[in-house]
Structure 1
Amino acid sequence: MITPLRDFGAGVGLLARGFRLVLSDRRLLVRGALPALVTSVLLFAALIGLAFSVGDLVAWATPFADDWAALWRTLLRVSVGISVVVGAIALSQVLFCALTLIVGGPFYESIAEEVEDRELGGVPSAQEIGWGRAAWIGLRDAVLLVVRGLLWAVVLFAAGFIPVVGQTVVPVLAVCVGAWMLAIELTAIPFVRRGVSLRARRRALKTRRALTLGLAVPVYLLCLVPLAALFVFPAAMAGGTLLAHQVIDRVPAAAGAGRR
């Protein structure tokens, strides 16, 4: 029986295999890094702007605390500020992955194809996606996932008001939620190449939740380091392709035949 901890370790191992693949072939690394560079610069600038303005934003959102004692007002606003930043980071990771896939769809499709050829012996029934279709699928999936991300951000924002829990449990939960949505995006191309819908993709990944998080949590955390995504994202795409292969047999035939 596979335990969650062992499955999580196996997910980390998939990411390690992804790193081995892209670091042993500079073409794969460069191919995956270029779209990530463009998206990283844009989103990093947005997060820096939020960091400088979060104090004013929190003060505007909590006018009821203006008359509180200084200690309690500060504690409240620091807690809310942390929740806002954590939620923004979680949302930015989903946006980063989605936008990078839209910009670099052909690059990442070629990475997925090469990984499948090298590690899995190829996928004879795989479909060619093409940039236009990949961009449309990426945009549609991104909208759906961002909506989910915003709902979670509201929940985490509200939970940030809870003393102690808001500063301990909420950040951990935010990482897990963000990593999960990141995994859905990282496996998009190999699943779509097999004709699997977004709904079926989520259902398949849920059957190996610990394995999925084992890949996605390290990717999520590493991508928080400025410019680390240039090296991490190509490896994550390779690892996501391997992950899709691990769970593809858990997709019911009828579930995979839905809208792409």
Structure 2
Amino acid sequence: MIREFAEGVRLLLRGFGTWRRRPGLMALGLVPGVIAAIVLLAGLVPLALSLPVVADALTPFADGWATEWRTALRLAVGVVVFAAALALASAVFSALALAIGDPFYQRIWRAVEVDLGDPPPADGGGFWTAVGEGIRLVLLGILIAVLVLLLGIVPLVGGFLGPISGVVLSGRMLARELTGRAFDARDLSPADRAALFRGSRARVLGFGVATQLCFLIPGGAVAVMPAAVAGATTLARTMLQRTPLATVPG
């Protein structure tokens, strides 16, 4: 499992190698990420600045506590609230970037498929497919954010459990979303996709967690998105090799 997780991380790094082969194409992939990041920063920055007020409002029962305990609780609450916001922001960023940048990311996906050999004849979805997937991604992001908040209120371990769960769940969601184009192009059924993800759980998780952690670095989401699209294309190909489906070309 550890080896497979590490292989997922390596596939993201391999995605960065596409810059060496297709620098102009990958540079175009930065544009939608910049636009999506500007939109999200307009919401995240005010939230970050108001976290002390939010934490105070959520914990009025702690007003009479000793200063050190009150401070520790409200710090933990602030961390959990921001972790939930980041989980949702990750989903919204991906949805916006994929919808805005569909033509760019489609070209990156196709270039990687061609480099790998035997590309599928069809393109993976289109603009409206990206919009539909984006809406689904945002809804999943909301569910993850709520779950992170609920885990965050667990006594003693919530401040740790909430953020970690947010990274893992968001990473898994990103990996599934970014491999979607390769599977759409091969016209895979939901059952086929489920079989592929069952056969490569640790690898998918490694790729997704590495991508999500990069997204948490300031400016990381913009810089990583083109490489994540390229790496996810290779990830999808390795999943097909590990769990062959007789009806799938490529």
Q: State the TM-score, normalizing by the size of structure 2.
A: 0.87
Deviation at residue 187 of structure 1 after TM alignment: 1.1
Which residue of 129, 137, 142 maps to 1:145?
Answer: 137
CA distance in 2, matches of 1:235, 1:141: 20
CA distance in 1, matches of 2:40, 2:195: 29
Maintained 8 Å contact 1:183/1:213: yes
Q: Count residues with an aligned counterpart.
A: 247
The AA in structure 2 aligned to 1:128 is D
**What's 1:6 paired with?**
3
**What's 1:236 paired with?**
228
Maintained 8 Å contact 2:37/2:93: yes
CA distance in 1, matches of 2:246, 2:162: 37
* 1:219 match: secondary structure: helix
CA distance in 2, matches of 1:170, 1:230: 25
**What's 1:161 paired with?**
153
- Residues 161, 75 of structure 1: alpha-carbon distance in 2 compared, 3 angstrom cutoff: farther
Deviation digits for residues 59-113 of structure 1 (CA, Å, limit 9, x no counterpart): 2233333344434333322221111101111111111111101001011111111
1:119-198 residue pairs with structure 2 within 5 A? 119=116, 121-124=117-120, 126-129=121-124, 134-196=126-188
Which residue of 61, 81, 95 maps to 1:98?
Answer: 95
Does residue 211 in structure 1 map to residue 206 in structure 2?
Answer: no
Deviation digits for residues 181-216 of structure 1 (CA, Å, limit 9, x no counterpart): 111221122122222356754552243111012212
* 1:122 match: secondary structure: coil
Maintained 8 Å contact 2:33/2:222: yes
The AA in structure 2 aligned to 1:105 is D
Q: State the TM-score, normalizing by the size of structure 1.
A: 0.84
Deviation digits for residues 162-181 of structure 1 (CA, Å, limit 9, x no counterpart): 34412223322211111111
Which residue of 25, 34, 58 maps to 1:28?
Answer: 25
Deviates more, 1:107-116 or 1:24-33: 24-33
* 2:76 match: secondary structure: helix
Identical-pair percentage = 37
The AA in structure 2 aligned to 1:122 is D
* 2:216 match: secondary structure: coil
CA distance in 2, matches of 1:139, 1:184: 16
Maintained 8 Å contact 2:56/2:74: yes
Q: CA RMSD in A?
A: 2.4
Deviates more, 1:96-105 or 1:151-160: 151-160
Deviation at residue 235 of structure 1 after TM alignment: 1.0
Does residue 83 in structure 1 map to residue 89 in structure 2?
Answer: no
**What's 1:60 paired with?**
57
